[in-house]
Amino acid sequence: MKAVVVSIGDELVQGLYPDLNASSIAQRLFDGGVLVDRFLTVPDETEAIAAALREAAALAPLVVATGGLGPPPTT
């Protein structure tokens, strides 16, 4: 199965923070046998988010949308 990860956040498109959520999600999906076909990163704008989700849904049967600064640290 294929998936697309949509990362949402002004801080991501401005390069203020690395997208730790996307890499963590991709690894967990891969561990479950799902291959990420691509990553889309968009700002915190309704129209951009909607367009990215439409694009992602046309590309893969599984779409994961995420926002925020990253996954919690592992111990």
Give me the pLDDT at residue 49, please: 96
Model confidence at 69: pLDDT above 60 = no
Q: Is residue 16 part of a domain?
A: yes
pLDDT grade for 39, boundaries at 50, 70 and 90: very high
> pTM for the whole thing?
0.87
Give me the pLDDT at residue 74, please: 57
Mean pLDDT over residues 25-48, rounded?
96
Mean pLDDT of the chain: 91
Task: Give exposure, 31-48, as e/b (b: 16+ Cβ within 10 Å).
Answer: eeebebeebbebeeeeee
Q: Is residue 29 part of a domain?
A: yes
Model confidence at 14: pLDDT above 60 = yes
Q: Is residue 27 part of a domain?
A: yes
Q: Is residue 62 part of a domain?
A: no
Domain limits at 19?
1-33
Q: Is residue 71 part of a domain?
A: no
CA neighbor of 45 nearest in space, from 72, 60, 21, 67: 67
Q: Is residue 54 part of a domain?
A: no
